[in-house]
């Protein structure tokens, strides 16, 4: 169970993401992002070592706001071989120095995301300890996925997590509503707030057969 600490981060998550986002192939903006935290949820690491947050941030720097799905992991030490996935480091007021990673490239987050699709993990509230988040929905006709070792590939459309027989597309640029793509065998969906404070829903991730 992840414990949510009411403390400080320096730099903050949004400050780290402001510097990191523009270099992503799926980033749709052209200027320095102006980010707001818009939603998301958490998953628990069964080993209790890695913080897992699946965040939605909205960039209002352009003519139209754009919502991004940004899964993050928080670690107490560097993840070997994941230098390219490092978002940055921050000083946590309780836990000390934390290494923040693009969670799509962290095997702990990938395994728990597939466990969520299998029904073996439960989405947790983003800012509350030991509180399930019923607004996050998920289903899958694939699997069970068992022990997942996923290969992550970033594209202009999103990030693909490939496992034996299936591909999970993380929709980095979010769009509210609409049907799931043809051929979908599973999904993770949730809600976020627009700059006008409206609550909208959309697919965070879509599963298909490889």
Contact 42, 116 (CB under 8 A): no
| Residue-level pLDDT at 6 | 67
| Residue-level pLDDT at 140 | 92
Helix (DSSP H) and strand (DSSP E) numbers for the chain: 2, 12
| Residue-level pLDDT at 95 | 73
Q: Residues for the chain: how many in total? A: 210
Q: Is 117 helix (H, G, I), strand (E, B) or coil?
A: helix
Q: Per residue in 88-109, pLDDT tens? A: 999 977 777 999 999 999 999 9
120/139 Cα distance (integer angstroms): 12
17/40 Cα distance (integer angstroms): 15
Q: Per residue in 153-182, pLDDT tens? A: 999 999 999 998 899 999 999 999 988 888
Residues of the chain falling short of pLDDT 70: 1-6
| Residue-level pLDDT at 52 | 97
| Residue-level pLDDT at 149 | 79
| Residue-level pLDDT at 165 | 86
Residue 144 backbone dihedrals phi, psi, to 5 degrees? -70, 150
Q: Is 191 helix (H, G, I), strand (E, B) or coil?
A: strand
Among 8, 14, 9, 33, smallest CA distance to 23 is for 33
Please enumerate, as own/partner, the contacts of 174-180 that have beta carbons within 8 Å and a separation of 24 or more: 174/56, 174/67, 174/68, 174/69, 174/202, 174/204, 175/202, 176/200, 176/201, 176/202, 177/201, 177/202, 178/202, 180/206
Q: Is 9 helix (H, G, I), strand (E, B) or coil?
A: strand
């Amino acid at each position: 169970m992840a414990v949510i600490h009411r403390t400080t981060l320096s730099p903050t998550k949004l400050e780290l993401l402001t510097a990191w986002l523009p270099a992503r192939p799926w980033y749709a903006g052209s200027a320095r992002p102006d980010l707001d935290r818009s939603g998301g949820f958490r998953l628990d690491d069964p080993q209790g070592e890695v913080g897992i947050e699946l965040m939605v941030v909205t960039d209002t720097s352009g003519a139209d706001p754009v919502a991004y799905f940004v899964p993050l992991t928080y670690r107490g030490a560097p993840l070997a071989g994941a230098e390219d996935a490092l978002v940055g480091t921050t000083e946590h007021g309780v836990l000390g120095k934390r290494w923040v990673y693009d969670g799509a490239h962290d095997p702990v987050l990938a395994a728990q995301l597939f466990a969520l699709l299998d029904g073996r993990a439960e989405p947790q509230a983003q800012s509350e300890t030991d509180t399930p988040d019923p607004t996050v929905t998920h289903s899958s006709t694939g699997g069970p996925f068992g022990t997942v070792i996923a290969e992550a590939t970033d594209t202009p459309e999103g990030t693909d997590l490939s496992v034996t027989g299936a591909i999970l597309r993380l929709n980095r640029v979010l769009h509210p509503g609409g049907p799931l793509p043809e051929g979908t065998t599973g999904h993770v969906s949730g809600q976020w707030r627009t700059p006008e404070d409206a609550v909208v829903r959309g697919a965070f991730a879509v599963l298909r057969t490889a």
